[in-house]
Amino acid sequence: MTFVLSQSNYGKSEVRLVKVVRTEGRHELSDVTVDVMLEGDFAAAHNEGDNRALLATDTMRNAVYVLAAKHDVAQLEAFGRALVEHFVVAGPTVERVRIQLVEHPWARLGEHEHAFQRGNGGDRVAIVSGDGHSVRFEAGIEGLELLRTTGSGWSGFVRDELTTLPETDDRILATALSARWSYAEGGIDYGAAWHAARDAILESFGDHFSPSAQFTLRRMGRAVLKAVEAIDRVHLSLPNRHHLLYDLSRFGLENPNEVFHATSEPYGLIEGTVAREQ
């Protein structure tokens, strides 16, 4: 029997990078987690233990910090492109590079010039990949926590001998949304596009009666495509953060849809891709 290495990649994950841009009287803060992944001809290392073509992952980490000193980290896509261009050249047999950047938000404390609190609104994601000739940009959101206390139901679903869940036309709908999309080629203000996409998701989450998370997923996807012409398709993932009405009758109390048990597992997971018609 003969065995061959059909594919391989390696890199450095979860490089935590914080950069403070210090201008007189005001500081700007960027907090980013960077993942570096290299693809190419690494067969010698796997087959013969010959490491001469391998760039150490420790070197990859150092490169992230060195390039952060030279580039504007707040411009995620531009910083990602600089990393791609660096690693395509730095690795002797590297053929393709994929950089994922996840920006963790911090909010300024009022008008304070150099004090911050942890922000909300989800983590901004940028994925930049390239082979030295062309570069592709993807983006998204991680952990966008959303909740509505009414205006959501779940009824009319399949019922069989194993079904115990009651139907409802008034429930809490909660999720920690993740989304991914790619951009068309051309001059794009990536920061403005990302904020427009997130704003569309936020607005469409609460502007309708939701008969299901599936219905709301499609509505949010359509809103993103309407808001940003440079996005052709968006994939959304909605874990259902269940809030179960707690039974207080055993204590002689009524519970008029006010007291809930919030549970994280197990949970329903609703995913889908909304795309423009071709």
Q: Which of 57, 93, 104, 195 is catalytic?
A: 57
Residue 126, burial from CB neighbour count under 10 angstroms (0-12, 13-18, 19+): buried
CA angle 218, 221, 223 (to 5 degrees): 110
Residue pair 83/98 in contact by the 8 Å Cβ criterion: no
Nearest CA to 106 among 122, 124, 118? 118
Spatial separation of the C-alpha atoms in residues 105 and 32, rounded to whole Å: 9
Q: Which residues pair with 100 in a beta bridge?
A: 35, 127
Q: Which of 12, 86, 175, 216 is catalytic?
A: 12
Spatial separation of the C-alpha atoms in residues 61 and 231, rounded to whole Å: 31
Active site residue 242: yes
Spatial separation of the C-alpha atoms in residues 138 and 180, rounded to whole Å: 7
Task: Report which DSSP code applies to 80.
Answer: H
Spatial separation of the C-alpha atoms in residues 86 and 84, rounded to whole Å: 5
Active site residue 112: no
Active site residue 33: no
Interacting residues of 167 by C-beta distance below 8 A, sequence separation 6+: 153, 154, 155, 156, 157
Spatial separation of the C-alpha atoms in residues 66 and 242, rounded to whole Å: 44
Which residue shows structure tokens 């990078």?
17
Q: Which of the residues are catalytic?
A: 12, 57, 242
